[in-house]
Every structure is written in C-alpha cells, then in structure tokens.
Structure 1
Amino acid sequence: MALMLSLLSALVVLSHGHGGSLGCNLTLNHDLVSNENVVLLDQMRRISLSLCLDDRKDFRFPQQAVNGSQVQRTQAISVLYEMLVQTSRVFFTEQSSAAWNTTLLHQLLTGLHRQLEDLEPCLVQDVGQAESAAGKDPTLAVKRYFLGIRLYLKQKKYSDCAWEVVREEIMSSFSSSTSLQEGLRKKDGDLPGLTLN
C-alpha cells in the first residue's frame, strides 16, 4: 500500500511539473494547491486543541518576514520557498508518519513538493537580486521560527498534543504566507519574469 501511494504521488508530481519551462510562471494552480494544503492540515486534526492548553506555545511567527508590504519584492519568493521547505522538513519525519493519517500526510507532502517545484524557477531568477537587496535576509527569521517548532516537538517527545499545537501553528503560518502571495500578485509588474494569473 505504501509503495502504491509513493508511485501515485510520483505520477502526480510528474504530471504537474513545468515540462522544462525555465520561466517563472505561477498560475492559479499554485494557489489551489496552497489552499488544498490548508484543507489537508485541517483534516489531519486528531484531537481537540482544547485538550492541549498546557502545551500551547508562542512560536513567535516572523510576521515581518511574510508581510508582503514590508518584504523586499525580490525576497518574497525566497521567503515563500523557505516556508514550504521548512514545513516539509517538519512533516517528513519518522515521528510525523507515526502521528498522522498516512494518506493525508502523503497528500500534504505531495502538495508541498508541487508548490516548491512551482517556485523553483522564480527562486533562481531572484537569487542575484535578493543577494544585492539591502537589509536583513527574512528567510533567516523563517528558519529560526521552524527550528523553534522542531525543538519544541523534540522537547515534548512528539506527543499528540505537541503535534496538534504544531499543526495549528503551521495552518496559521500558511494563512500568513497566503497574504504574502497576494502581495506578490499586486506587485506582479515589479517582479521581472513573475507572472501570476
């Protein structure tokens, strides 16, 4: 069964690839996959968060790093990409496989991979510009945020409540990244090669 799911996921990923396109072209499909990932995270809920009040934690989400109006336009793609990489890293673990419904988890990881593939051509185009942009690199704040999440899970020994708190936190971070994507869409003309349909 696991092998069948892996093969099916590989086919889904390949069928939604860029077909060799070198341009940066994020379509509505990217937004749809993002919304599907939020729905999957919601469906993964196993216990009520009200049972985990003692486990609640403020992970200090780096709001400035994902605020579309404050992040340099050339860095926005890097921030989105880093959020997806780090989210995948949290859920692509042995402990995560033991905690969640494997079908939903597999679908989430496939969706995250599809989004990463969509962003890769944009990331390559913006690397030189982002490196020359003045100010701090907002992806560092995103990395620190997710490091805090991983350390929290380890400290809590990957308990059901810890996973529930993290699932809820990542759903919230996805909502913030959606606002960053909307900010990119508004600034579409200012990002060379970025087309959001």
Structure 2
Amino acid sequence: MNAFGLIQIGIILLCTSTTSCPQCNHLPLQQRKVVKNSMQLLDKMGEKFPRQCLREKMFFRFPKQVLKPRQKETVKVAIEEIFQHIFYIFSKNLTLAAWDKTALGQFQNGLYQQIEQLEACVIKKQTRYFWSKEANRLKLKKYFKEIDCFLKDKQYSLCSWEISRAEMRRCLQLVDKVVRKLNN
C-alpha cells in the first residue's frame, strides 16, 4: 500500500473515531462540487437525447421524501446510498451505450470517491441516525430497482441507457438542491 492509501485510511479512522472531522465538516461543499461535476460528466458522456428514444420515454418516480429528513446525518446517509445505487447502475453492461469512455470513467471514479468519503463521515453516527424511517430506504431501493429492471427489460439498449442517463441527471439535480440547503 502506498503512502496516499495509508493517509486515507488514517483519515477514515480519525473521522470514524471522533465526532469532529475536518474532511467531514466540508463535506456538503465537496458534495456540491461532486454533484455538479457528475452532472457535467453525464452531459459530456453522450450527445443530446436521441430523437428515436422519445417514444420509449419512461417516467421513474424518485422518492423525494428520502431527502427531507430532519437531521443532516440522515441526509448524508441517504445521499451515500443514492451514490452507491448510481455507481452500481453505471458499472454494468454498458456495451450498447455509445458514450465517451473517458467521461464515463471520470463519472464512475468521482462517485466512488464520494461514496468512500461519505462512508467515512457517517459510519460512527450511522448507528444513531440510521435512516429514521426504514420505509424511506426501501422506497429508494425500489426506485433504483425499477431503473435496473427497465435496463434489463430493454436488454441494455442504447435508448434504455439514454433514458437512464437522463433520469440520473434529474436525480443528481435533486441531490444538489438538498446539498445547497445543507450549506446554509
């Protein structure tokens, strides 16, 4: 393991063993940058939405209540889970997606790094604030399962990926709105 890896492990251990972590204190600002960058990369990955895909348009209902809990830590846990689901979806069977591979790789790497940071910041508090309502967690899981099933049903076609990419952008816009509120 290199020195950078050891430093990251040290920060994670420090963050999870104390209630005050400099990396975690700036997390909402970092999340905002990551979300904005992710939306830009989603745009950069592909062209405009293909006209031939308009007839296949699908509406997925994002469970907005998962981003409206009363405690900031619960919101961080929800955002971490959202990033994990997005990462999972964009890590499989992308062969028919005609996207810029560099932008896709940067998108995946950014999500992965943010997931690690969020895990480090919420792990200790997670037992205290762990999803005030399990029902919200299940709704979020159902939302992403619908997208995953849609992709499978359409055999990971170009249009199914484009529809999913547009939906992930909309999802990230909702996360961005919440993160802006956390900064205030």
Q: Shared topology, TM-score over 0.5?
A: yes
- The residue type equivalent to 2:177 in the other structure is S
* d(CA) in 2 for partners of 1:25, 1:61: 28
Cα distance change of structure 1 residues 120 and 103 upon mapping to structure 2, 3 Å threshold: same
What is the Cα deviation at residue 136 of structure 1?
4.1
Which whole-Å CA distance do the structure 1 matches of 2:40 and 2:138 have between them? 27
Partner of 2:78: 79
1:139 maps to which residue?
137
Classify 1:33/1:144 alpha carbon distance in 2 versus 1 (closer, same or farther; 3 Å). same
Q: What corresponds to 2:26 in structure 1?
A: 26
Gaps of 5+ in 1: 1-10, 187-197
Instruction: Choose 95-104 or 152-161, whichever is displaced more.
Output: 95-104
Residue 120 of structure 1 aligns with which residue? 119
Indicate conservation of the 8 Å contact 2:76/2:122, yes or no.
Answer: yes
Superposition CA RMSD, Å: 2.5
The equivalent residue for 1:108 is 107
Letter in 1 for 2:121: C
Amino acid at match of 1:89: Y
Q: How far 1:50 moved relative to its partner?
A: 3.0
TM-score by length of 2: 0.81
Cα deviation code 1:152-192 (max 9, x no counterpart): 00001111111000000000000001112123223xxxxxx
Distance 1:60 1:163, change over 3 A: same
Aligned pair in 2 of structure 1 residues 14, 31: CA closer, same or farther (>3 Å)?
A: farther
In 2 relative to 1, CA 32–157 (structure 1 residues): closer, same or farther, beyond 3 Å? Answer: same
1:51 equivalent in structure 2: 52
TM alignment of 1:168-187, pairs within 5 A: 168-186=166-184
Percent identity (aligned): 27
Partner of 1:192: none
How much does 1:81 deviate?
0.4
In structure 1, C-alpha distance between the alignment counterparts of 2:36 and 2:7, rounded to whole Å:
16
Cross-structure match for 1:156: 154
Instruction: Specify the code of the residue in structure 2 equivalent to 1:26.
Output: H
